[in-house]
Amino acid sequence: MTHLWLVIKKRCVIAQRQKSLDAAYIAGRIGNRAIITTSLRDEDELFNHETLERKIEMKRIALLLAILPACVALAAPKKAVPALAKGEINQKHKLCPRLLVTTSNGLVSLKLNDKGVYVKDAQAVVPRDADKPVFDFGATRGEPLPRAVHVQHVAMIGDYVYIQHEGVIRKLDSALKEVARVKIKEKDDSTMKLVGAGKASSKGTDSMAADVNGLYVSYGGDFICYDVDLKEVARIELEVSAGKKKNAHDILVHNGTAFLLDNVMYPIYVFTVDVSKLAEAKIVHRTELQGINHHLVSQWLSDKSSCWYILSSSSHRGGRNQEVNYARFDGKKLKFIEAESPSWFWSRRGGETKGTSVLAVTKSVPAWAVLKEKNNQFLAKCDPDKEGNVFVNAASINFRVSQMHGFDGYLYCLSGSTLKIISTHDTKVKQVMEVNLTKLGCSGAGDVLPWPAVKKTK
């Protein structure tokens, strides 16, 4: 006999069902989120809780279990996950021909040579002074390097790289030579007050992304669209309430829609913006997310379930946690679902942890993540099923991942100063290459981004 403690509308019940659960979990439900805090197998401990009711009709229990299939799925027995194996590159699936590495003082581009090995192609230093141009690292040999900046906002469109620092966007060519520069303008006639940004943070861009149509920037509470030549073609104020607006701190663009996360100062909002026509960009959805001292960490999409997943973290006296909110698209409508959280992390006093935490996740579709459960780490694919499971573990790994990007069936994982490239084309994922970035002159690597080749049209 197993037990499931369900907290619904501040009322506790004991659920009993034979041969359906192999573990028992305490689950609490708050709004459109669900939490998993601990596990119990002691019947006395359950019945001694002062808020529990001893006598529950089995018919009511059957109804509760019928409407909570995701909670049952969380307690399902887990299959053994194989360790990440090493293998050869499948010649049918080519690696990305170029990679862009952000370093402690600028950018390094790597290219795949004829032998199938990544080598350094170009390196540029990004000066801290926004008025000075980006210059070639090789030209500074024998001279002291000027004060440089670790680039955080990078996007690629075709053969060009776009970087941002101190409110200035620079456009670089494939040789990392600066070809254009524009200073982001503030909206002069705005009557709205920017919430959650002081003088220091309001000077710089909070997020930047791109697709084949253009560049998207959040700055000063505005969502700005640029074409590939850095000409501003549209601007939208991210209004959250009467006379107030906020910045977006993460942008994901997919199939003509920009997904925006706000991450500063409660209340926190998420937006979707229609960018299918760059000059006619408009806000489609605006939703407030509730939580306790919470932050929006990352986001990803699933074409299979037509869902938008948002990873948030919270902290309070009891510890800290992760949880996943998600919304389902029904045509052009967006609805946040009241369902059990597919991922949960909790730390009690004393350091005890329960559940699974998300360490890294890709923005590409299908999304892949690095999950941690106790002392084990797994590579997992976003593959939602009817039982409410979102990720499916594919392989266990024994290295830390700080950044991860997916492109054309490969995962590019940054682990310290090493780049690990993992193939997901076959049923069994495997590591096909390992690159020592320090030997390639990429000191203090912060991220490694795939830089696709431009497809030539006939």
Residue 114 φ then ψ, to 5°: -65, -20
Two tokens at 360? Answer: 């890294």
85-451 topology per CATH: Methylamine Dehydrogenase; Chain H (2.130.10)
Greater pLDDT, 433 or 136: 433
Greater pLDDT, 195 or 17: 195
pLDDT digits (tens, 9 = 90+) for 299-317: 999 888 788 998 888 877 7
Cis peptide before 133 (omega within 30 of 0): no
CA distance 207 to 335: 25
The region of weakest confidence among 74-88, 117-131, 183-197, 220-234 is 74-88
- What pLDDT, on a 0 to 100 scale, did the predictor assign at position 51? 35
**DSSP labels, 63-92:** HHHHH-HHHHHHTSPPPP-PBPEE-PPPTT
Average pLDDT, the chain: 76
pLDDT digits (tens, 9 = 90+) for 35-59: 333 333 333 333 333 333 333 334 3
Q: What residues contact 80, with CB distance under 8 A and at least 6 apart?
A: none
Nearest to 259 by CA among 345, 192, 213, 326: 326
Q: Are 343 and 355 in contact (CB under 8 A)?
A: yes
CA distance 282 to 237: 10
List the chain domain ranges: 3-74, 85-451
pLDDT digits (tens, 9 = 90+) for 181-234: 999 988 777 778 887 754 434 445 678 999 999 999 998 889 999 999 999 999
**DSSP labels, 105-157:** SEEEEEEE-TTS-EEEEEEEE-BSSTTSPPEEGGGGTTSPPPPB----EEEEE
Average pLDDT over residues 77-83: 72
Does position 110 have pLDDT exceeding 70, yes or no?
A: yes
